[in-house]
């Protein structure tokens, strides 16, 4: 009897625990089907919000110039290379002038002949030997010869390429000995003005519509990624790029641009768009595998099956993430249990 009493005392707590488990609330009695993953959901709500638009592009200047010859011919010399510093008026390239000089000489001779003929007719007209018509025809022939000579000299002058401003050679498109057509680019140059740098960023039609000229921008470069520079949207293109279908936005610095910038260097921009746009805010933990402005979330339409979808991410906060696109047509977002899901997984909703 003495042995039985201690044993009975030890069994009493076990019986009480089992009794408590058996009399728990309804949630404990709920049976979850095998293969079904328990999750928590929340409604997806759309709201109007200002957004931050991220984009990348290349730096350029507003005084880049494509230099070419007015007349065609064979290139005699290209006196500069890419990256060379140039000064205003400096000779950069020239055509072989043999044919051009011949043309100038011919028009010079034609002008001299027209001048002699005109002077002779004028003397005869003064002596009443030549008629008024002959005098007028002589004057017209002289005027034509004068204009032809000026055109030939003009073409000769533009058979040479000279720098239009102080700057740098960005690109060389042709070399000595090459046959070139009138107007075909030979050199691309830019100026050295510190305030002329701008960043050209390509945006989707949706983002482009949200941007306004004058919107504030944060600019960064891969050279110094931790340094942010203030700028503003200067201009919006009114036509899409034929190759990419994107719309270009030009961004200018509020102050002097960094000294290390070079034409063609890549840059990044965060545009604080002033125009509100319909977006969603979701908990930070609901986003999976975020990379490059895109991420994945799980949603459900029938509360029985999970769907994995791609979304475009906006601004990221400490506890939430802005979604720009991807949640259209869905009513519920899975916010807990996503780590155990795959596309088309069976789910059960937990309170």
Q: Considering the chain, what percentage of its residues have pLDDT values greater than 90?
A: 50
In the structure, what pLDDT confidence band is assigned to residue 62 with cuts at 50, 70 and 90?
Answer: confident
Whether 134 has a pLDDT exceeding 50, the answer reads yes
Whether 3 has a pLDDT exceeding 90, the answer reads no
Residue 92, both tokens: 């950069």
Region of residue 140 (left: phi > 0; alpha: psi -120 to 50; beta: else) = alpha
DSSP class of 128: T
Domains of the chain: 31-48+278-349 (2.40.420.20), 54-63+193-272 (2.40.30.170), 67-96+159-192 (2.40.50.100), 98-158 (1.10.287)
**pLDDT at site 324:** 86
**pLDDT at site 19:** 44
In the structure, what pLDDT confidence band is assigned to residue 4 with cuts at 50, 70 and 90?
Answer: very low
DSSP class of 223: S
* Chain-centroid distance, C-alpha 39: 41
Average model confidence (pLDDT) for the chain? 85
For the segment 185-212, the average pLDDT, to the nearest whole number, is 84
For the segment 279-289, the average pLDDT, to the nearest whole number, is 89
* Chain-centroid distance, C-alpha 160: 34
Four-CA torsion 285, 322, 245, 60, nearest 10 degrees:
-100
Residue 40, both tokens: 């928590």
Q: Considering the chain, what percentage of its residues have pLDDT values greater than 70?
A: 89
For the segment 163-189, the average pLDDT, to the nearest whole number, is 91
Whether 192 has a pLDDT exceeding 50, the answer reads yes
Q: What's the rounded Cα separation, in Å, for the pair 299 and 56?
A: 31
Under 8 Å CB-to-CB from 272, ≥6 apart: which residues?
A: 50, 52, 215, 216, 217, 218
Whether 195 has a pLDDT exceeding 70, the answer reads no
For the segment 40-56, the average pLDDT, to the nearest whole number, is 88
For the segment 221-250, the average pLDDT, to the nearest whole number, is 91
Q: Which of 149, 274, 169, 302 is nearest to 217 (CA)?
A: 274
Q: Please give the model's pTM, rounded to 2 decimal places.
A: 0.56
Whether 113 has a pLDDT exceeding 90, the answer reads yes
**Could you tell me where the beta strands, DSSP code E, fall in 34-98?**
37-43, 47-49, 52-61, 65-68, 73-78, 85-86, 91-95
Whether 291 has a pLDDT exceeding 90, the answer reads no
For the segment 147-173, the average pLDDT, to the nearest whole number, is 91
Whether 303 has a pLDDT exceeding 80, the answer reads yes
**pLDDT at site 137:** 93
**pLDDT at site 50:** 81
Residue 42, both tokens: 């929340």
Cβ count near 51 (within 10 Å): 21
């Amino acid at each position: 009897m003495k042995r039985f009493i201690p044993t009975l005392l030890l069994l009493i707590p076990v019986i009480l625990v089992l009794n408590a488990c058996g009399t728990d609330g309804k949630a404990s009695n709920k049976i979850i089907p095998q293969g079904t993953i328990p999750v928590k959901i929340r409604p997806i709500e759309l709201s109007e919000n200002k957004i931050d638009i991220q984009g990348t592009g290349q730096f350029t200047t507003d005084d880049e110039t494509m230099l070419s010859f007015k007349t065609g011919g064979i290139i005699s010399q290209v006196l500069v290379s890419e990256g060379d510093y140039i000064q205003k008026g400096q000779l950069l390239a020239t055509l072989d002038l043999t044919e051009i000089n011949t043309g100038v000489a011919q028009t010079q001779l034609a002008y001299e002949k027209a001048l002699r003929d005109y002077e002779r007719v004028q003397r005869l007209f003064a002596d009443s030997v030549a008629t008024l018509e002959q005098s007028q025809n002589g004057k017209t022939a002289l005027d034509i010869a004068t204009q032809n000579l000026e055109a030939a000299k003009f073409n000769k002058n533009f058979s040479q390429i000279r720098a239009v401003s102080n700057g740098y050679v960005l690109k060389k498109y042709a070399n000595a000995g090459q046959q070139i057509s009138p107007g075909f680019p030979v050199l691309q140059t830019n100026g050295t003005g510190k305030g002329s740098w701008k960043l050209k960023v390509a945006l989707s039609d949706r983002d482009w519509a949200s941007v306004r000229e004058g919107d504030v921008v944060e600019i960064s470069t891969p050279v110094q990624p931790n340094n942010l520079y203030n700028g503003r949207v200067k201009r919006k293109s009114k036509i899409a790029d034929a190759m990419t279908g994107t719309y270009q936005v030009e961004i200018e610095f509020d102050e002097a641009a960094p000294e290390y910038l070079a034409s063609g260097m890549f840059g990044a921009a965060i545009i604080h768009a002033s125009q509100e746009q319909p977006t969603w805010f979701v908990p930070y933990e609901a986003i999976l595998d975020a990379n490059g402005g895109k991420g994945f979330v799980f949603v459900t339409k029938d509360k029985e099956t999970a769907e994995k979808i791609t979304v475009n991410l906006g601004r990221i906060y400490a506890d939430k993430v802005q979604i720009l696109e991807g949640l259209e047509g869905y009513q519920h977002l899975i916010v807990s249990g996503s780590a155990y899901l795959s596309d088309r997984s069976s789910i059960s909703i937990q309170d």
